[in-house]
Amino acid sequence: MTRHRYTARTVDPHELYEKSVQDPAADVALMIRWFERRRRRVPLVLREDFAGTAWMCAEWIRSDPARRAVGVDLSAATMAWGRRRHFRPGNPDGADPRRMRWLRLDVRSARVPRADLTCAFNFSWCVFLDRPALLRYFKAAQRGLAADGLFALDIHGGPTSFTPGRDERRMGGFTYVWDQGAVDPITHRTLRRIHFEFPDGSRRRNVYRYDWRVWTLPETREALLDAGFRRVDVLWELYDKNGEGSGIFRHVEHAKNDDSWVAYLLAWK
């Protein structure tokens, strides 16, 4: 196996971002499983909000020849990178570009076609800093769904989500650093940054910066219900025998407030 020789000077940040924080095949499988279980039909149209490089859309399209996807994002440059990486015509590993629609729009826009399933992952929806802004987004997501549609999002919590700190993960050829700033107790606003470090000692700091609000799970769930969703299920991750996240999620009504947790919220129209 050839090991990449990553170094700050030549590295492609989108490639490292995808490797570090995304697992779209698992997310797509989870969303389809829950949709089919509850709705007894096959979902065909995905809308990925805050799509960035739209890797999720590519996995969705690859999962079934009848599937189509819509990626919504404000960054033309990030979407252009995603088009080259995941949708290049003739690439046997790529997704069919004819079944993909790119929309350079705010996720709150009404000009987005209807979807069976909409997702907003990696906590991107935390860009909305107050409840009216969040509610406006959740209402747009609700309106943009088919009558039996599902809106899936993820949320990070636990005591350490409120404390400053660095989480470093060796990724094979580089180190991913999640740098968490202090949370303002009055506004819950915080700065979160991603840095990358390389075996030759070089580094790229502040490659991604997020000015976010830390939304609690009850606040988020109540906002989803106020936006018109009928019910919101919480999927909680089970732990393996070493206390690590297992990647297996169960629908729960109550949970233990572990130091740091990630949950899925499934909001049903």
Ligand X SMILES: C[S@@+](CC[C@H](N)C(=O)[O-])C[C@H]1O[C@@H](n2cnc3c(N)ncnc32)[C@H](O)[C@@H]1O
Neighbours of 227 (CB within 10 A): 19
For ligand X, the closer CB: 46 or 51: 51
68 DSSP β-pair partners = 45
Q: Which residues contact 243 (CB under 8 A, 6 or more apart)?
A: none
For ligand X, the closer CB: 126 or 234: 126
Q: Which residues contact 167 (CB under 8 A, 6 or more apart)?
A: 177, 178, 180
Ramachandran angles phi, psi of 223, nearest 5°:
-65, -40
Region from 39-47, 71-79, 89-97, 177-185 binding ligand X, contact rule CB under 6 A: 71-79
Question: Does 75 sit near ligand X (CB under 6 A)?
Answer: yes
Closest distance between ligand X and the C-beta of residue 124, in Å?
4
Question: Does 73 sit near ligand X (CB under 6 A)?
Answer: yes
Region from 67-75, 94-102, 179-187, 197-205 binding ligand X, contact rule CB under 6 A: 67-75
Among 35, 47, 52, 263, interactor with ligand X by CB under 6 A? 52
Q: Which residues contact 254 (CB under 8 A, 6 or more apart)?
A: none
Among 60, 121, 151, 176, interactor with ligand X by CB under 6 A? 121
Question: Does 255 sit near ligand X (CB under 6 A)?
Answer: no
Question: Does 214 sit near ligand X (CB under 6 A)?
Answer: no
If you search the block for the tokens 């089970």, which residue do you land on?
Answer: 238
Question: Does 21 sit near ligand X (CB under 6 A)?
Answer: yes
Question: Does 78 sit near ligand X (CB under 6 A)?
Answer: yes
Region from 84-92, 117-125, 198-206, 255-263 binding ligand X, contact rule CB under 6 A: 117-125
Separation between Cα atoms, residue 228 and residue 212, nearest integer Å: 24
Question: Does 122 sit near ligand X (CB under 6 A)?
Answer: yes
Please tell me whether residue 237 adopts helix, strand or coil conformation. Answer: strand
For ligand X, the closer CB: 45 or 141: 141
Question: Does 112 sit near ligand X (CB under 6 A)?
Answer: no
188 secondary structure, DSSP code: -
- Compute CA 69 distance to the chain's CA centroid, rounded to the nearest angstrom: 15
Among 4, 19, 20, 22, interactor with ligand X by CB under 6 A? 22
State which of positions 89-108 bind ligand X (CB under 6 A): 106-107
Residue closest to 108 by CA, chosen among 147, 144, 68, 149: 144
Separation between Cα atoms, residue 134 and residue 126, nearest integer Å: 8
4 secondary structure, DSSP code: P
Interface residues with ligand X (CB under 6 A) are 21-22, 50-52, 72-75, 78, 106-107, 121-122, 124, 127
